[in-house]
Amino acid sequence: MVAVKIDGKAFAETVRGDLAKHVEQLQREHGITPGLAVILVGEDPASEVYVRNKGKQTRECGMASFEHKLEATSSEAELLDLIGSLNADPAVHGILVQLPLPAHIDSDKILNAIDPAKDVDGFHVSNVGLLGTGQKAMVPCTPLGCLMLLRHHHGKLDGLNAVVIGRSNIVGKPMAQLLLRDNCTVTIAHSRSRDLQNIVRSADIVIAAVGRPEIVTGAWIKAGATVIDVGINRVERDGRKKLVGDVNFESAAEVASAITPVPGGVGPMTIACLLANTLTACCRARGLPEPLGLTA
Ligand SMILES: NC(=O)C1=CN([C@@H]2O[C@H](COP(=O)(O)OP(=O)(O)OC[C@H]3O[C@@H](n4cnc5c(N)ncnc54)[C@H](OP(=O)(O)O)[C@@H]3O)[C@@H](O)[C@H]2O)C=CC1
Ligand SMILES: Nc1nc(=O)c2c([nH]1)NC[C@@H]1CN(c3ccc(C(=O)N[C@@H](CCC(=O)O)C(=O)O)cc3)C=[N+]21
Ligand SMILES: [Mg+2]
C-alpha cells in the first residue's frame, strides 16, 4: 500500500471535541442548549443503529437529542403534523427525517415541510437552491464531511479534476456543488455514463457514492489521486457479515496517494457535520455569531 489512509474517525472526534467546547460556551454565556430532533419511520435495523449513534454523539457534545419513532404504516399527514410541531418548538434547532421513507410517503413533500432554518440535512429545496447559487445555506452533511476531509488532507483544490460517481440529491449532486465552489473541474458520472473507468482515470479526486460494493478498483485510479469512498455496503465475506465501501480498498490503495477506509472514513464525518449544522442552526436562530471553521 502506498496511499495514506485518511482517518475520518479521528478527524470526526476532533470536530466533535471542538463542537462540545462551543456548546458548553453557549450554555454558560447564554443558557442555550442546541437541540436535534431525529424522525425514524418504520423499523429498518440499519437506520435504528444510525439513529442510536446519532443520539449518543449528540448528547456527548452537550446537545439535546429528541428521537421520534413512527410506525411504518404512519400516514403522510401524521408525519407532517409532527414536523409542524417540531418547526414550532423553540428547543429544536435541527430536524432530520431519516431516509428512505416508506414508499407510500412522498419524501419531497416531507423534506420541504421542514423549516429551512432547521433543515440540518440541507435537503429542503430552499437550501438546495441557496447552495447552487452560492448563497448561505445548510449544507448536506455527507458532502460537507467529504469536503472537510479533502481540504484537510489535500489543501487547496483549485483546478483539480474531480469525478463524482453518483448523482443522488443527498450525496452526488451537493458534492459536485461543493467541489465546484472550491474551483475543481467537476464531472458527475452515473449508471448511464459511458466508459466510466476512463472518466474515473482522469480524476485527481474521486468521490464514489454509488452503493455498489467495491465497484471501483485500483485499475480505475490515476496514480497519486485522492479517493473518498462514501459507500456503505453490507456484504457477506467468508461467511461473515462485513461493511465495505464502493471502492476496493486494497487495490486502490496501491495507486492512490490518499484514501478513506470504510468503516472509519466518511461515515463518522457525516454525523460530526450533522452536529455542526445543528450548532450553526442554533446560533443563526438566536442571532449569535457562528463558530468559524466547523462548517463550510
Ligand atoms: N457514509 C455516509 O455518511 C453515507 C453513505 N451513503 C452510502 O453512499 C452510497 C450512495 O448513496 P446514495 O447517493 O444515497 O445512493 P443512490 O442509490 O440514491 O444513488 C446512487 C447513484 O449511483 C449511480 N450508480 C448506480 N450504479 C452505478 C454503476 N454501476 N455505475 C455508475 N453509477 C452507478 C446511480 O445512477 P442513476 O442516477 O443513473 O441511477 C445513482 O446516481 C450508498 O452506499 C449509501 O449507503 C449514503 C449517505 C451517507
Ligand atoms: N436524512 C438522512 N440523512 C442522512 O445523512 C442519511 C440518511 N437520511 N439515511 C441513511 C444515510 C446513511 N448515513 C450514514 C451516516 C453515518 C454512517 C456511519 O457513521 N458510519 C460509520 C459506522 C458504520 C457501522 O459500523 O455501522 C463508519 O462508516 O465508520 C453511515 C451512514 C446517513 N444517511
Ligand atoms: Mg437515495
User: 140 CB contacts (<8 Å, ≥6 apart)?
Assistant: 121, 122, 123, 170, 171, 174
State the Cα–Cα distance between residues 115 and 123, nearest whole angstrom.
11
The response to whether residue 11 sits with its C-beta less than 6 Å from ligand 2 reads: no
Query: How far is residue 222 from each of residues 195, 250, 254, measured CA to CA in Å?
Result: 15, 15, 11
State the Cα–Cα distance between residues 82 and 46, nearest whole angstrom.
23
Q: What pLDDT is recorded for position 227?
A: 98
Among 49, 165, 191, which is best to mutate for testing ligand 1, by the most ligand atoms less than 8 A from CB?
A: 191
The response to whether residue 121 sits with its C-beta less than 6 Å from ligand 2 reads: yes
Instruction: Tell me whether residue 121 is one of the annotated catalytic residues.
Output: yes
State the Cα–Cα distance between residues 277 and 296, nearest whole angstrom.
10
Pocket of ligand 1 (CB under 6 A): 142, 165-168, 170-172, 189-193, 196, 209-212, 215, 230-233, 266-267, 270
CA atoms within 13 A on the CB side of 52: 7
* 232 has binding-site annotation: yes
How is residue 117 annotated by DSSP? G
Q: What pLDDT is recorded for position 290?
A: 92
Region(s) of the chain under CATH 3.40.50.720: 141-267
How is residue 247 annotated by DSSP? B
Q: Which of 121, 182, 204, 229 is catalytic?
A: 121
Nearest protein Cα to ligand 1, atom 16: 168
Residue 26 has pLDDT above 70, yes or no: yes
* Residues 183/158, Cβ–Cβ less than 8 Å: yes
**Ligand number, closest to the Cα atom of 232:** 1
Tell me the angle at which helices 141-154 and 8-30 cross, rounded to the nearest 10 degrees.
110
Nearest atom in ligand 2 to 123's CA: 1
DSSP string across 37-53: EEEEES--HHHHHHHHH
The per-residue pLDDT of the chain, averaged, comes to 96
State the Cα–Cα distance between residues 146 and 14, nearest whole angstrom.
15
Nearest atom in ligand 1 to 271's CA: 3
Q: What pLDDT is recorded for position 293?
A: 67
* 192 has binding-site annotation: no
Query: Left, alpha or beta for 31 (phi > 0: left; psi -120 to 50: alpha)?
Result: left
pLDDT tens digit sequence for 77-130: 999 999 999 999 999 999 999 999 999 999 999 999 999 999 999 999 999 999
The response to whether residue 10 sits with its C-beta less than 6 Å from ligand 2 reads: no
Instruction: Tell me whether residue 7 is one of the annotated catalytic residues.
Output: no
- Out of 52-56, 58-62, 168-172, which region has the weakest mean confidence (pLDDT)? 52-56
Closest CA to 70 of 36, 105, 35: 105
Confidence band (pLDDT; 50, 70, 90) for 296?
A: low
Nearest protein Cα to ligand 1, atom 20: 210
CATH of domain 30-136+268-285: 3.40.50.10860
Region(s) of the chain under CATH 3.40.50.10860: 30-136+268-285
CATH top-level class of 141-267: alpha beta
Instruction: Tell me whether residue 54 is one of the annotated catalytic residues.
Output: yes
CA of 99 to the centre of ligand 3 (A): 8
Q: Vertex 135, ends 86 and 156: CA angle to 5°?
A: 115
